[in-house]
Structure formats: structure tokens, C-alpha cells
Structure 1
């Protein structure tokens, strides 16, 4: 399943190391939760993601209201992504 969305980049720094995320729209997240998919840790789904010319494989995680996509440091550096910026994401869900 391929999806596209835009998101404001958010920072979660509840640990020693900060994590940056793009959040999928709640409506889209609700649709994804209804898909038949294998049970994985933390309700995660494996994905292939692309922002600009950077592609990588990771997982999206459900945070209670929407899925979030972690943005690795390498991706943020290659695409000049900062907290509060807006990113356009292409996502292929691999677990369906």
C-alpha cells in the first residue's frame, strides 16, 4: 500500500537522545489500523519511506491517536530537515 502525506516535524526528547517524527494524519492512521497486518512490537508496521531523494526502510508506530514515522539523523541531514519544518513523505507499507 502506497500513501503520501505532509507533516510538521516534531521532536520527542523524553530520553537522552532526541527523536524526530513525521505524524501521519489521524484519518489515514485510522484506515491503516483497519488493514490486515501481522502483529509486531509496539503495533508497528514495516515501511519503505522517501523524503526528497532519500529513501530508507523503517517502521511506523501508533502513538495512541496516529502513526508516527521516525526520521533518522542521516535523513534529516541529507534533506535539511529541522523541527517545525514541513516534510512531504511517500510511504510504502510493507506489512500488508
Structure 2
């Protein structure tokens, strides 16, 4: 399943900062339809994502009825992305 959306980089503070892009509600509904086939536990959904010219593998994290896409430093830093940066995301749910 392929999904595209635009979002803003957010920071989740903890012992170390983590960066995410929230998946919009409409796309979350589509992802939930295949979640049981894709999830390998804890409700995380394996995906291949592309932001800019960078493609990476990760897993969507369930959060407040939706999903968050983690944005690795290896993706974020070379593209100069920081908290508040607007990004376009293309992702494929790995079934």
C-alpha cells in the first residue's frame, strides 16, 4: 500500500530527542485497514519512506489514534530539516 502526504517535523522530548512527522487522519484510516497484515507487534507498522531524495526503512508508531513517522537523523540532518520544517512524504506499508 502506497501513501503520500505532507506534514511538519515535530520533536518528542525524552532522554534523547526524537523527530517525527504525524500521518494525517485520512491516511491513518487507510493504513489501519492493512495494519493487522503488516504489524509485527506493539502496533508498529513497517514502512519504506521517502523524504526528499532520501529513502529509508522504519516503522510507524501508533499514537493517539493515529501514526507517527520517525525521521532518522541520517535523513533529517543532510536535508537541513528541523522542528517545524514542512516535508512531503511518500511511504509504502510493507506487507
Q: List runs of 5+ in structure 1 lacking aligned partners.
A: none
The structure 1 segments of at least 4 consecutive aligned residues displaced by more than 2 Å after TM superposition are 38-42
Q: Does 1:53 align with 2:45?
A: no
Q: 1:94 to 1:39 in 2, by over 3 A?
A: closer
TM-score by length of 2: 0.91
Structure 2 equivalent of residue 26 of structure 1:
25
Give the whole-Å Cα distance in 1 for the aligned partners of 2:21 and 2:55. Answer: 15
Query: Aligned ranges for residues 55-94 of structure 1 at < 5 Å?
Result: 55-94=55-94
What is the CA-CA distance between 1:42 and the residue it aligns to? 2.2
TM-score by length of 1: 0.90
Give the whole-Å Cα distance in 2 for the aligned partners of 1:39 and 1:65. Answer: 15
CA RMSD of aligned residues (A): 1.2
- Secondary structure (helix, strand or coil) at the match of 1:78 reads coil
Number of paired residues?
94
